[in-house]
Structure 1
Amino acid sequence: MSAGRAAERRGFTPGERGLEQSFGRATVILNALAASGEAGMRFVDIVRATGLSQTTVHRLVAALAEHGFIEQAATDSRYFLGMQLAGWAFAATNRFGVAEVAHPIMHHLSEVTGDTTYLSLRSGDTAMCVARVEGSYPIHVRIVTPGDRHVLGLGAGSLALLAFIRDEAEIERLLNLPEQRAGRARAGVDEALIRQWLVASRRDGYSIVQDLVPGTSAIGLPIHGPTGDPVAALGLAAISTRLQAPRLDEVLTEMRAAAAQIEARLRPMPKAHLVR
């Protein structure tokens, strides 16, 4: 099949020009990668599947990768849908039941620990709280409420979303966004402290933020998406004295089990729900 006929079959005509044509062709590439699932695609596979020229595919793949819409594996150079799309997809799929999937697991975690749990999703360049379950401990901690958006890195959940991104360049991009800098300034947190938290999170395998809200502490664990990057985070908040050793280790054990369950339940979601 010729490139022109393949393009026409996929929803745009060879005569289109400008933004609509570029967007249509980029969509063709993204749809092909979505269909490939966890197998990913080599460059030659993308060319073959889309019917586009090698020059066009090379230009669009480079642009899509630069903006985080696709990623290239370091081992075999295969391409996959990127973290940016994963974050948007998980935010969008909350209406299909992401919060409902996580809620019984969070409820059990709050029952076992007595502390407040919450779930945050990455939505574009921010963290969004989509669910919270309060614990039974007499002093309730209200760090976030569903619908709240936060700068990535401020708070244990949003810190986990930032710290465990595999692409260092993406972390730097996020840290240097004007809106991120403004958000940190409003919270009285400088970049040096955020970077200390990032190093500690990667070293320990979880994020912990103490006294960002006076007298309270919170733990965050990443929920990994199909590409291995965090698209959600499980958080637990309590008064600071309740998150000290040895209880901290006990809470972490419960949280790790809960995070693994959420990942396992999200994984089978229909592709039509995850890529829209």
Structure 2
Amino acid sequence: METKNVKSAGKLLAVLECFSSVDKRLSVGEIARRTDLPRSTAHRLILALKEIGFLEQDRSRDEYRLGIKLFELGSIVLNNMDLHREARPFVDALTVATREAAHLCVFDGLRMVFVERSSGGRSGENNATITMESSPCHCTGVGKASLAFQPPAVIDRVIGLGLSAYTRNTITDPDRLRAELEQIRERGYAIDRGEIEIDRNCVAAPIRDSTGKVFAALSCTGPASRMTAERLAEIAPLVVNHADSISWRLGWRRDTGGGEARPRRARTPRTPAALS
């Protein structure tokens, strides 16, 4: 009975995983094809998910979308996450240290979901919020910092969905993106030079859970006029150290061949060219 229940739950999850920020509405036939289930079985699972509010039917057509109940549960998850509780002081501290906006985002498998923002800095404001707003992975600092440390299959899936151009600086070539992700893995942080907003630059670093898996990222963002190559090089070690400190608070320990290691100190690049 237990095995049967697990299989049933797995099928329900498979239906939910058909949806994404790209595939917002799907028909019964599309879901059946994606889950490799008989159409009758897929329809039965869809009706069950609809009954509990996990799916909603589009009245104008025979299609379904994720239900508001999932949004409510997601909001609860974000509010109760150790990441939210442990990271807030470091997000605020990064803003104070750099006088630029700081963003904390979680990787959802395809995109980055904003968890914390600290927009203090030059304006003197310091407003943080929890939101379900998301951003792409291939052209944001937090996105590339997270994507670089994912398994090849995840990187392939993100690239397979298409690399949309947001500005003239957006990386849209898969090979070029893969090369940049390799650079990020080597240096430990990512740079966004006007790739999603032409007049804004940022530097971001990955955040790990207790197992060492990268599931989030921390960034520092500002106008391109202030966030020059020299300024990005100056801020990069601060962002890495704050991100590593959050990882430390979440239970991550760097293996040093014995005992536990404190968060590392990032090396400042010798020249701004190292950020390209």
- Give the TM-score of the pair, scaled to structure 2: 0.57
Please list the CA deviations of residues 117-169 of structure 1 after superposition, one character each: whole Å capped at 9, or x if unmatched: 010001232210111001322499xxx9842212222210011110122x223
Describe how 1:140-219 pairs up with structure 2 within 5 A: 146-165=131-150, 167-176=151-160, 178=161, 181=162, 184-185=163-164, 187=166, 189=170, 190-192=172-174, 193-212=176-195, 213-219=197-203
Q: Structure 1 counterpart of 2:166, which letter?
A: A
Output the CA distance in 1 between the equivalents of 2:130 and 2:198. 17
Look up the match of 1:230.
Answer: 214
Output the CA distance in 2 between the equivalents of 1:259 and 1:237. 15
| Residues 195 and 259 of structure 1, relative CA distance in 2, 3 Å threshold | same
Output the CA distance in 1 between the equivalents of 2:110 and 2:231. 33
The root-mean-square deviation of aligned C-alpha atoms, in Å, is 3.3
| Residues 168 and 138 of structure 1, relative CA distance in 2, 3 Å threshold | same
Once the two structures are TM-superposed, the CA of residue 109 in structure 1 deviates from its matched residue by 0.8
The structure carrying a bigger helix percent of its residues is 1
Q: Structure 2 counterpart of 1:161, which letter?
A: S
CA contact (8 A) 1:91 1:122 kept: no
Look up the match of 1:244.
Answer: 228
Candidates 108, 116, 127, aligned match of 2:112: 127
Look up the match of 2:53.
Answer: none
| Residues 21 and 239 of structure 1, relative CA distance in 2, 3 Å threshold | closer
Which secondary structure does the structure 2 equivalent of 1:117 belong to? strand
Q: Structure 1 counterpart of 2:181, which letter?
A: L
Once the two structures are TM-superposed, the CA of residue 171 in structure 1 deviates from its matched residue by 1.5
Describe how 1:41-56 pairs up with structure 2 within 5 A: none
| Residues 186 and 240 of structure 1, relative CA distance in 2, 3 Å threshold | closer
| Residues 191 and 242 of structure 1, relative CA distance in 2, 3 Å threshold | same
Gaps of 5+ in 1: 1-7, 27-89, 269-276
Q: Structure 2 counterpart of 1:94, which letter?
A: L
CA contact (8 A) 1:220 1:235 kept: yes
Output the CA distance in 2 between the equivalents of 1:131 and 1:251. 19
- Give the TM-score of the pair, scaled to structure 1: 0.57
Look up the match of 1:56.
Answer: none
Output the CA distance in 2 between the equivalents of 1:122 and 1:105. 19
Output the CA distance in 1 between the equivalents of 2:217 and 2:123. 25
CA contact (8 A) 1:242 1:248 kept: no
The structure, 1 or 2, with the larger RCO (C-alpha pairs under 8 Å, 6+ apart) is 1
Output the CA distance in 2 between the equivalents of 1:91 and 1:153. 25
| Residues 92 and 231 of structure 1, relative CA distance in 2, 3 Å threshold | farther
Q: Structure 2 counterpart of 1:265, which letter?
A: R
Percent identity, please: 22
Output the CA distance in 2 between the equivalents of 1:249 and 1:25. 46
| Residues 134 and 191 of structure 1, relative CA distance in 2, 3 Å threshold | same
Q: Across the two proteins, how many residue pairs are aligned to each other?
A: 183
